[in-house]
Amino acid sequence: MSLSADILRLVLGMIVGMVLPRLPLLFFTRFLNMERELPPHPDPVPISVPLVQRLLLMRRVHLMCWVTALFPIALGLWILQNSPEPFALGMVAGVSWFAITRVVPEDIEQGLGILPLSMIKSVNNLREPETDCCEKPELYWEVRAIRCKNCRHVAMDLPRPDLGRMRSDGRLRGSLRILLTDGRSVFPTAGTSIISKGTELFSQVAEEE
Ligand SMILES: [Zn+2]
């Protein structure tokens, strides 16, 4: 067989290996009509019991991805034992890449996984904050942080992860985005990037003036 056909099969296998484990993330909540309790994407989500329940559900969906990852890796390894098939090799490489992106934490302080329990707990604590930011505090999880709707106080500087809502950018583009980001926010967590440090500095200067 020609080299180009082998490479094509390898790449195809890699794509299958990367997409298959993430299928629950793409379809689980989105096709089960679980939209009633949360506002539509991309609207801010109120800090409430339905949100915390959804975060816990999404955490389970992320764990489910590990189960769906078992199928392509087992199949790939089984084929490789019998014949050096480029498609199977690609599939094993794709699933391995999935595993690496999950196991290596982006920020060690935030805990492991895309939705660590510690993060869900701190969001849950915000349902009854110790101190109120203003007279009528209404906390919402916006794209970049949890803020009060009335006084714009930032209660938690954490970009909003994917909550499994039907996406406003369409099924195809939305799915592609989730595959690329793995359900994380596209925005970096505060303090992890030069850009966020820059904007922080800029806002400090603006406030002083
Ligand atoms: Zn407020």
Q: What does the alpha-carbon distance between residue 134 and residue 148 come to, in Å, rounded to a whole number? A: 9
* Per-residue confidence (pLDDT) for residue 7, from 0 to 100: 94
**Ligand 1 centre from 154 Cα, in Å?**
9
Average the pLDDT over 65-80 and give the result. Answer: 93
**Ligand 1 centre from 44 Cα, in Å?**
15
Q: What does the alpha-carbon distance between residue 177 and residue 155 come to, in Å, rounded to a whole number? A: 27
Average the pLDDT over 75-102 and give the result. Answer: 91
**Ligand 1 centre from 129 Cα, in Å?**
11
Q: Length of the chain in residues, anyone?
A: 209
For 14-64, the pLDDT digits (tens) are 999 999 999 998 888 777 666 677 898 889 999 999 999 999 999 999 999
* Chain mean pLDDT for the chain: 84
**Ligand 1 centre from 153 Cα, in Å?**
6
**Ligand 1 centre from 77 Cα, in Å?**
55
Radius of gyration for the chain, computed over Cα atoms and rounded to the nearest angstrom: 20
**Ligand 1 centre from 100 Cα, in Å?**
40
Structure tokens at 49: 């019991």
56-to-118, 121, 123, 133, 144 alpha-carbon distances in Å: 11, 10, 11, 27, 20
Q: What does the alpha-carbon distance between residue 120 and residue 55 come to, in Å, rounded to a whole number? A: 7
Q: What does the alpha-carbon distance between residue 141 and residue 47 come to, in Å, rounded to a whole number? A: 7
